[in-house]
Amino acid sequence: MIAGDGRHVRIGLLGGSFNPAHAGHAHVARVALAALRLDQVWLMVSPGNPLKPARGMAPFAERLASARAVAAPPRILASDAEARLGTRLTWKTLKLLRRRYPRAEFVLIVGADNLTQLPRWNRWREIASGTRLAVLPRPGYTRAALHGRAASVLRRHRRAPGAMWAGRPAHKPWAFVPARLHAASATAIRSARWHSALVSGSNAAS
């Protein structure tokens, strides 16, 4: 991980529960690296998403290990930064990261589902104003997200992915990054594991 050595770098932050991390996360990271001309993408494993129930959430160490398994150093890295910084709120994480890495330019990478949820985030307008935002498609969410409240409020700040770094706008831009949809789903993986465990338990009992 870049350790505040004074270099001017562009870093994409792909946050999430990673419950577990999977090939879809790696796909999104690779797309963002290329489309946004980033130096690195950090898979930011959340200690606990305030908008998600704790039930069914694997321990942090297990989720971090799964992110490390799909990472591809040195450009795609699993990060426990939020746990180390002691924050679960995106606006606070960004504030602390900028303080620690003053020469880094951060881009928040989110799926279309999170663009839909963005107005529920703490200080979401502050996040959108001060941080570049890259939105990638998600099955079943993209159309609604691009016509939703956040997209409407931020409409005049939308740019093409290649224009994200142009100039020094007072309000940071956001972009929709077209990409092939990836079928991997953490929910489906957890469901398959549950089913496998159920079958194994049933076989052992018979």
Distance of CA 61 to the CA centre of its chain: 18
Summarised one tens digit per residue, pLDDT across range 14-63 is 999 999 999 999 999 999 999 999 999 999 999 987 777 778 899 999 99
**159: Cβ–Cβ under 8 A, 6 or more apart, which residues?**
166, 173, 174, 175
**Cα–Cα distance, 85 to 100 (Å, whole number):** 10
Write phi, then psi, for 77 (nearest 5 degrees): -125, 140
Answer yes or no: are the C-beta atoms of 26 and 41 closer than 8 Å: no
Where would I find the H helices in 57-121? 60-70, 81-85, 90-100, 112-117
Percentage of the chain beyond pLDDT 90 is: 76
For the chain, what's the residue count?
206
Higher confidence at residue 172 or residue 4? 172
CB atoms within 10 A of CB 167: 7
Mean pLDDT over all residues of the chain? 87
pLDDT at 67 over 60: yes
pLDDT at 125 over 50: yes
pLDDT value of residue 48: 84
Q: Which long-range contacts (CB under 8 A, 24 or more apart) does 26-30 make?
A: 26/70, 26/71, 26/72, 26/76, 27/179, 27/180, 27/182, 27/184, 28/109, 28/111, 28/136, 28/179, 28/182, 29/72, 29/76, 29/109, 30/72, 30/76
Q: Is the dihedral of CA 26, 28, 29, 34 positive or negative?
A: positive
Strands 132-136 and 76-79: unpaired
What number is the average pLDDT over the span 121-143? 96
pLDDT value of residue 30: 96
Domains of the chain: 9-205 (3.40.50.620)
Summarised one tens digit per residue, pLDDT across range 157-175 is 999 999 999 999 999 999 9
Confidence band (pLDDT; 50, 70, 90) for 205?
low
**Cα–Cα distance, 36 to 45 (Å, whole number):** 21
Q: What is the DSSP letter of 111?
A: E
**Cα–Cα distance, 165 to 172 (Å, whole number):** 9
Write phi, then psi, for 42 (nearest 5 degrees): -105, 125
